[in-house]
């Protein structure tokens, strides 16, 4: 877990302000849930591997006997835990509050989550997630709104040229079925396919054979992976989708994916190609996805900047009634590292350097006068190394400086540009 010093914190807040503003513009509304949820809800089998990484909170009021008894039932030590994602809390929130929410509810959630991962470069145990979700809409309108809002947001952060890789869990399922994989082995096969970017087609086929997947199905898959393909680029649309899938793909799935492209194209006021790429091998890890799956890509990096998918089954587990839902999580921690310093706002920021013997009231009157015309004022006692002081202020986003000595006229101070 990390401390954020002023320069980093300020950049993070500016990026969050842009994300909030763009998501709100697209008709999403921000909500907030407590960071602590009930233990049983966090361990209901929905969170996948993240459940094992959760931080659990020690139940209060346990006495020595209670602790001893928990040796055989460690779950009894906790009644609460820190959330490991924003999706499980959203499902709980919707079940609790649906009477007060519109029929189609478009939520924004921005907040920290915790996972007890082994520390490694670029991974933190506390990190911020930014999710948007559409609950109560089973049409591709929902996916298109999520994609348009997400692309618009990274555009506004200076990361234009983003694209979204899309697939559909139903297409994956049909494809594995068409190769001949049995239903019960498909989840394992998907885990292997998910590694395609890392280990390549040969690695995939080898791993499938190693894990004892049905040999004839692996052969069929292998042949499909090695089929001759022209290197000709095809823009997103029916032709690209049909080319990328084995022959005979169900019309309903193809129509859904084609319609999604048209909807996204209509959502973008900018001219140009549909910013989607159909990827028949996109899997995304979570077991709860039921339809469209999406991943945000940008030419400047080889990792994804976010992703999401449709999870029509999950809300029903909490709400007791099936409700369609689809979500998209923008990779805030990755994006904040990519975004160069955003303009901190046009208002002038002034450092007021003063001698130690300037009377306090006089000094503060100068500060108040500057504050009435500048956006931001910081007092700094003059040091021998004035240059270092001003350089630091400049790094902190200050744009001008003024100087005051004891006994100087109380008139208006001259502000000089910094750096």
Least separation in angstroms between CB 129 and a second copy: 14
DSSP assigned state of 401: E
Return the C-alpha torsion angle 361, 365, 371, 374, nearest 10. Answer: -120
Is the Cβ–Cβ distance between 38 and 80 less than 8 Å? yes
The residues in 334-353 that bind a second copy, with binding defined as CB under 8 A, are none
The H or E element that residue 46 is part of is none
Please state the length of the chain. Answer: 419
Helices (H), 70-185: 87-97, 140-156, 169-179
Options 62, 319, 338, 342; binder of a second copy; rule CB under 8 A = 62
- C-beta of 31 vs 176, nearer to a second copy: 31
Would you say 231 or 361 has its CB closer to a second copy?
361
Site for a second copy in 65-94 (CB under 8 A): 65, 67-68, 70-72, 74, 77-78, 80, 82, 93
**Does residue 306 sit in helix, strand or coil?**
strand
Please state, in angstroms and rounded to a whole number, the distance separating the CA atoms of residues 89 and 249.
Answer: 36
392 vs 405, which CB is nearer to a second copy? 392
Q: How far is the CB of 399 from a second copy (least distance, A)?
A: 13
> Count of residues binding a second copy (CB under 8 A)?
91
Of 171-190, binders to a second copy (CB under 8 A) are none
Cβ 367 vs Cβ 350: under 8 Å: no
Smallest separation (angstroms) from a second copy to the CB of 392: 6
Among residues 231 and 356, whose Cβ is nearest to a second copy?
Answer: 356
Residues 90-149 that bind a second copy (CB under 8 A): 93, 96-97, 100-104, 106, 112, 114, 116, 126, 139-141, 144-145, 148
Nearest to 90 by CA among 132, 53, 120, 119: 132
Stretches 17-25, 166-174, 227-235, 237-245: which one binds a second copy (CB under 8 A)?
17-25
Torsion of CA 377, 382, 385, 390, to 10 degrees: 10
Judged by CB under 8 A, the residue of 199, 223, 266, 386 near a second copy is 266
Measured in whole angstroms, the distance separating CA 38 from the mean position of its chain's CA atoms is 24
Q: How far is CA 346 from the centre of its chain?
A: 28
Stretch 356-395 residues interacting with a second copy (CB under 8 A): 360-365, 367-369, 371-372, 375-381, 383, 392
| Minimum separation from the CB atom of position 120 to a second copy (A) | 17
Q: Which of 18, 36, 336, 418 binds a second copy (CB under 8 A)?
A: 36
What x/- string results for residues 190 through 219 when contact with a second copy is judged by CB under 8 A? ------------------------------
Task: Find the binding residues for a second copy in span 233-262 (CB under 8 A).
Answer: 259, 262
Pick between residue 176 and residue 370 the one whose CB is nearest to a second copy: 370
Q: What tokens does 367 get?
A: 């500060």
CB neighbourhood size of 68 (10 A): 10
Segment interacting with a second copy (CB under 8 A) among 49-57, 179-187, 204-212, 300-308: 49-57
8 A C-beta contact, residue 103 and residue 137: no
Binder to a second copy among 229, 269, 321, 409 (CB under 8 A)? 269
Residue 228 tokens read as 């001759």
Closest approach of Cβ 255 to a second copy, in Å?
A: 12
Chain centroid to Cα 323, Å, comes to 23
Nearest by Cα to 339 from 395, 300, 297, 295: 300
Q: Does 231 bind a second copy (CB under 8 A)?
A: no
């Amino acid at each position: 877990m990390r401390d954020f010093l002023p320069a980093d914190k300020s950049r993070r807040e500016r990026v969050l302000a842009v994300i909030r503003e763009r998501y709100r513009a697209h008709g999403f509304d921000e909500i907030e849930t407590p960071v602590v949820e009930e233990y049983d809800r966090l361990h209901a089998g929905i969170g996948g591997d993240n459940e094992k990484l959760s931080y659990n909170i020690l139940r209060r009021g346990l006495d020595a006997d209670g602790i001893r008894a928990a040796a055989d039932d460690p779950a009894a030590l906790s009644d609460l835990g820190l959330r490991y994602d924003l999706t499980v809390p959203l499902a709980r929130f919707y079940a609790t509050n649906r009477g007060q929410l519109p029929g189609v509810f478009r939520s924004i959630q921005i907040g920290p989550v915790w996972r007890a991962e082994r520390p490694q470069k670029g991974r933190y145990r506390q990190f911020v997630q930014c999710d948007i979700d559409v609950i109560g809409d089973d049409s591709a309108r929902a996916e298109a709104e999520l994609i348009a809002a997400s692309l618009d947001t990274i555009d506004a952060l200076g990361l234009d040229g983003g694209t979204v890789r899309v697939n559909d869990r139903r297409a994956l399922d049909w494809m594995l079925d068409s190769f001949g994989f049995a239903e019960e082995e498909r989840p394992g096969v998907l885990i292997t396919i998910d590694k395609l970017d890392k280990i390549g087609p040969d690695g995939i086929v080898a791993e499938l054979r190693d894990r004892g997947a049905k040999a004839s199905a692996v052969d069929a898959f292998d042949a499909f992976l090695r089929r001759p393909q022209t290197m000709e680029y095809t823009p997103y649309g029916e032709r690209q989708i049909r080319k990328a899938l084995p022959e005979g793909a169900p019309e309903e799935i193809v129509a859904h994916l084609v319609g999604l492209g048209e909807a996204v194209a209509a959502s973008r006021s900018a001219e140009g190609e549909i910013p989607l790429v159909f990827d028949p091998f996109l899997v995304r890890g979570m077991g709860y996805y039921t339809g469209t799956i999406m991943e945000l890509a940008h030419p400047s990096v080889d990792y994804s900047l976010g992703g999401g998918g449709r999870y029509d089954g999950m809300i029903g587990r909490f709400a007791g009634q099936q409700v369609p839902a689809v979500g998209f999580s923008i990779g805030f921690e990755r994006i904040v590292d990519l975004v160069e310093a955003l303009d901190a706002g046009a208002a002038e920021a002034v450092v007021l350097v003063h001698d130690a013997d300037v009377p306090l009231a006089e000094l503060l009157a100068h500060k108040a006068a500057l504050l009435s015309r500048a956006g931001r004022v910081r007092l700094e006692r003059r040091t021998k190394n004035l240059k270092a002081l001003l350089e630091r202020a400049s790094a902190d986003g200050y744009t001008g400086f003024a100087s005051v000595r004891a006994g100087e006229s109380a008139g208006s101070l001259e502000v000089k540009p910094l750096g």
